[in-house]
Amino acid sequence: MMFLPTLALLTILQDGVAKESGNDANSAPTKAAIAATGLSNELSASGLSYKIDFTHPESRKQTVYVTAKPSATIKGLLTTFIYTTVWVSKEAPTSELLLKVLTQTKKIGQFYVFKDSKDVWCIRFGANFNATELKESSTSTDPLVTNLKDTIYFVNQVGEEADKELNGNQDIK
């Protein structure tokens, strides 16, 4: 059970990342940049994230979320978190499953474990995006908008691949 301390640490770390910065003025540039990507999106039911749905072969679906407000401020940098769920269960993930997921290395992003308010366990993949220079007047040709769109696509692709690997033909969407 050496993964239980890791699980607890990841849950605590992610809980800290998921907190809102509380600065409403910082949500407008994120909204403008997501609109400028041209990706169809809507505000999530909680209002904390923008929801972007992707369709994959075999009618599989993957939903990517982008926090509406910067999720953390680190030494003056505002970061927005982009994430997707790859596994869901009422039971905590097994040590074997955690080993399989948490030992995968990606150039950007990381897998983490999350337990929601309904006591449902999730494994998610997410990446931080430096939103410091985003502007309310973002356009589709803005390099930061291109980078944001690429990061959203990357999280979607890693999420779909992990979903298939962990869940087989069962699509968790």
**CA-closest candidate to residue 104, choices 158, 169, 167:** 158
Q: Does a structural domain hold residue 172?
A: no
Q: Name the token pair of 118.
A: 């309904």
Q: Which amino acid is at 36?
A: A
Of the candidates 69, 62, 61, 86, the one whose C-alpha atom is nearest the C-alpha of residue 34 is 69
Is the overall model pTM greater than 0.85, yes or no?
no
- Residue 116 domain-assigned? yes
In a domain, 124, yes or no: yes
Q: What is the pLDDT of residues 46-66, one digit of tens each?
A: 899 999 999 988 888 999 999
Domain membership of residue 146 (yes or no) is: yes
Percent of the chain with pLDDT over 70: 84
Domain count, the chain: 1
35 found inside a domain: yes
Cα pseudo-dihedral 128, 4, 2, 88, rounded to 10: -70
Structural domain for 116, as ranges: 3-167
Residue 163 lies in a domain: yes
Asked if the structure places residue 152 within a domain, the reply is yes
Q: What is the tens place of the pLDDT at every residue in 83-137?
A: 999 999 999 999 999 988 888 877 889 999 989 889 999 999 999 999 999 888 8
| Inside any domain, residue 173 | no
In angstroms, the Cα distances linking 160 to 3, 31, 61, 148, 172 are: 24, 24, 8, 18, 10
The CATH number that applies at residue 79 is 3.30.1460
Give the tokens for residue 6: 């890791």
